[in-house]
Copies of this chain bind each other. A is one copy, B any other.
Amino acid sequence: MAQRVYPLSRVYALLEPGPVLLLATAGTARPNVMTLSWHMPVEFEPPLVACVLSNMDFSYARLKAERECTLNIPTLELADKVVAVGNCSGRDVDKFAAHGLATRPSSLVRAPRVVGCYASLECRVVDTRMANRYGIFILEVVKAWVDASVKAPKTLHHRGKGTFMVAGDTITLSSRMK
């Protein structure tokens, strides 16, 4: 995937369809990555995103401490790795090494991008006031990267317990919606 810089004003449309994400954090010894399906856009521009992490997740404490991450959008080609990453904890294993996922440096945050993903969003944590009660973090996307050659990305959409819907056909309707 040849990612290019992507306009921040269009980031919401990458997340709005609900794809499974890979959330990467920098760490001190090694970066970590987790799967994440509980997220939504909150504002168009600057793009804000809310996501929910469990305080059982290794990445929860990292995100609170580091206040930076990347959100990476994998497609069907990475499905096995997405599930493998979700089946283990970064407490026990170097997930990137264990599952043959490579990293690429980000531009504005220390957390790396995940190689092979259709899109990568560099994010800063801007609000953790809902983290204790709901696990909700508010992120601001500060730089976005997309492989623009992929016109209809086969994103993965979790339906629970390892069942994923793969993005299907695209239809266009006459809408005044943004």
Binding site for B on A (CB under 8 A): 10, 12-13, 16-19, 35, 37-43, 48, 50-52, 76, 79-80, 83, 86-87, 130, 134-136, 138, 152, 154-155, 157-178
What separation, in Å, do the CA atoms of A136 and B163 have in the docked complex?
Answer: 28
What separation, in Å, do the CA atoms of A40 and B15 have in the docked complex?
Answer: 11
Chain B residue contacts of A16, Cβ below 8 A: 18, 37-38, 157-160
Chain B residue contacts of A134, Cβ below 8 A: 42-43, 48, 50, 138
**CB-based contact B50/A136 at 8 Å:** yes
**CB-based contact A50/B40 at 8 Å:** yes
- Which of B52, B79, B154, B175 meets A161, CB within 8 Å? B175
What separation, in Å, do the CA atoms of A79 and B163 have in the docked complex?
Answer: 24
Chain B residue contacts of A135, Cβ below 8 A: 42
Chain B residue contacts of A136, Cβ below 8 A: 42, 50, 136
Closest to A157 in B: B17
What separation, in Å, do the CA atoms of A163 and B152 have in the docked complex?
Answer: 11
Chain B residue contacts of A177, Cβ below 8 A: 35, 83, 86-87, 158, 161-162
Q: Can you add 8 more A-B contacts, CB < 8 Å, to A50-B136, A157-B167?
A: A16-B158, A18-B157, A38-B41, A40-B51, A83-B174, A86-B175, A161-B178, A162-B173
- Which of B76, B164, B175 meets A162, CB within 8 Å? B175
Chain B residue contacts of A162, Cβ below 8 A: 172-175, 177
**CB-based contact A10/B165 at 8 Å:** no
- Which of B17, B37, B87 meets A159, CB within 8 Å? B17
